Structure 1
Amino acid sequence: MSTSIITQPDTIAAGQIRFYDYIQPPLPAGQYILKAKQEVIGVTDNENPLYLADQPLLVDGPRFMIDPGTIHSLFPPANMQGNYDNSLPNMVFSNFALPWSREINPSVSAEEKKRRLKNAAENPTEINQIPWIGLLTIYENDITSGKLSKPETMTVAEMLTPKDSVLLPVLGSVINESASLTAIDVDLTYFQSIAPTCEELPYLAHARGVNTGGKVLLGMDDDGCFSVVIGNRLPMAGAKNYVYLVSYEGHQNHLPPNKIAGYDKIRLVVLGSWQFTCNEARASFKVLMNDLCEKGRGGVTLLQLPKNEETNTNALAKEALEISYVPLQNNLREGETSTSWYRGPIVAAPTKRSFTYGPYWYSDHAIHYDPEYGLFNHAYSAAWQIGRLLALSDGSFANGLFNWRNNYLKGITQKAKNRKLQAKANAIGSKKAEDLTMVTGTLSLFTDKFRNISWPVFETRKEKLLGDHLPGVLDDREMEDIIANDGDLLLELVKKIKS
Structure 2
Amino acid sequence: MASDGTPRPSDNQLFAKKASFIQHSLPGLEAGVYELSVQQQFFDSSGTPINSEELATLTRRFGVQGPRYSLPANVINAEYPPLGTAGGYSSSIAHVVLNQEKLPWIRTPYLPGGEPEVEIRHYTATYGGTAHPITYDDDKASWLAVILITTGDLDGADPATLITAGTAADLAPDTMQMQGPGTTTVAGKLPADHYSIFSYMLEPGLAPKDGIIDPGVGYTSDEPCSFADIPAALFNRIAPSLDDLQMMAHVRAVEMDSKPIQDNDSVSATESYGIVVGNRLPQTTPPTQVPPAAQTGPAVGRNLALLVSLESMQNALRGYPATGYYAKSVVPAPSGTVRLPVLYQWDFTSWQDTSFDFEHILKGLNGRDASAPNSGPKVPNPLMRRPDPPAYATPNDLQTIAQQMLELGYTPMNQLTRVPDTADTDDQAIQLVSWYRGPLAPFAVANTLEFLTGSVSAPQDQTELIYSADQLLRFDPNVGMYDVSYAAAWQIGRLVALQDKSFSLALYRWKKNADQKYRMMLEDQVLQQDFSAVMALYRSNLTAGAKDVADKPMLKAVMNLLTKSNRD
TM (normalized to structure 2)?
A: 0.44
TM (normalized to structure 1)?
A: 0.50
